[in-house]
Structure 1
């Protein structure tokens, strides 16, 4: 699967350096073959490092890649300098106004969201599964962006590849975590089950926060194994492991 990287971009983010990466173009092998970004995937660390190097070179050359230790939290952190790999804060979104940093999150069915206020020079990358989205990770991300000078009416957001409603069957216990107001995100499924629309739920949380410029890429991680890693697909197939794809965004250094 090694070769040229496949980088999905969002028109709403304009010229901001960014990309939703697929698994194409990496050097990892086996069940996680491709551009595998996750530290916790039992992958060869040298392969992960090379995959990350390729992504940085393709999207924001000579920048420092900054990624949090994701824990399905509502927390967003402001980044001013790169941190050591073994000192990553536990958070699910990273925000900066510093050129030369490439912010990233990893996903394997959860939704990656890249945000930018081009005029203010503020960008963010967030990871939102249903727990993080419900707990407020997007609201925290937007608040952190505003603390650096972003304005809500200028923030653009792109929702990258995630598990689609048709692939996301949930049971009655899952449904109890949501209110009657969230009924629109659940389509009827087989008896005692529903199909949950994570992408629409994330979009709704962004809109409630005041973001109006939103782009949904509409890519289903579960049904496209050539392009995307998927925790749920790997589980259904009985695979021992699953990979993670990355979504990244940064600010280029100003031209001297």
Structure 2
């Protein structure tokens, strides 16, 4: 019997169709075994399409799944009915349309799901270190407001991502963050000489709270350290694997 799709939900998004999905429950095999939804992963397109359908049906059956071509930017777009081949280059998307399921792909970066239930507006953002530092969450909040959301009502959940214990960075990396705001030193602890451990989830949560999102919570799940549950770019690189899968985080209005 096939393993069921695992859907991790966030208490702060209770009542909404949403979920942070890992690799459990898919049909891909080999290095990308499981629920690999990455169109650019090198996996067989038919398997990826099947995995995307399984992911959609686990969260909002029959919905229109919409994703973007992620480029580690701070760009947020309003979801439209584009084909996968015509996905805009962006790292967040927003909608107020029922029956649309927003998807963000990750493999160590932080997925962030947002909602203002009173306004009927939801959003999903891909926050890798570059997009997070560049302000992708701020752009997402602004895009939600353009559709009628109010930031004091918006709630947000940060999903599984690489944890501080697994995320070693060098001095130059830390300097970028300190140069942007000296308070960012709080998200680094010293590691081996000349290196630090970076708390991506903590940094994203701090950005959300600084932007006025009062209810923001993290999953506290490490993608790097859970190979049976999540894909991880960094883990695959350390193992010398030729390919790596992508997991998806989803939110929509039923």
Aligned residue in 2 for 1:215:
217
Which stretches in structure 2 are left out of the alignment for 5+ residues?
A: none
The count of residues paired between Structure 1 and Structure 2 equals 251
RMSD: 0.9
Which stretches in structure 1 are left out of the alignment for 5+ residues?
A: none
CA contact (8 A) 1:38 1:106 kept: yes
Aligned residue in 1 for 2:28:
28
Aligned residue in 2 for 1:121:
120
Match of 1:245 among 231, 244, 247: 247
CA–CA distance in structure 2, aligned partners of residues 6 and 160 of structure 1: 13
CA contact (8 A) 1:222 1:228 kept: yes
Q: Provide the secondary structure at the position in 1 that maps to 2:152.
A: helix
Q: Tell which deviates more after alignment, 109-118 or 56-65.
A: 56-65
Aligned residue in 1 for 2:59:
59
Aligned residue in 1 for 2:174:
175
Q: Provide the secondary structure at the position in 2 that maps to 1:12.
A: helix
Moved over 2 A (4+): none
CA–CA distance in structure 2, aligned partners of residues 39 and 15 of structure 1: 30
1:88 CA displacement: 0.5
1:3 CA displacement: 2.1
Counterpart mapping for 1:50-199 below 5 A: 50-79=50-79, 81-179=80-178, 180-199=182-201
Q: Cα distance 1:2–1:106, how it changes in 2: closer, same or farther (>3 A)?
A: farther
The alignment's TM-score, normalised by the length of structure 1, stands at 0.96
CA–CA distance in structure 1, aligned partners of residues 87 and 61 of structure 2: 22
CA–CA distance in structure 1, aligned partners of residues 217 and 177 of structure 2: 24
CA–CA distance in structure 1, aligned partners of residues 81 and 229 of structure 2: 29
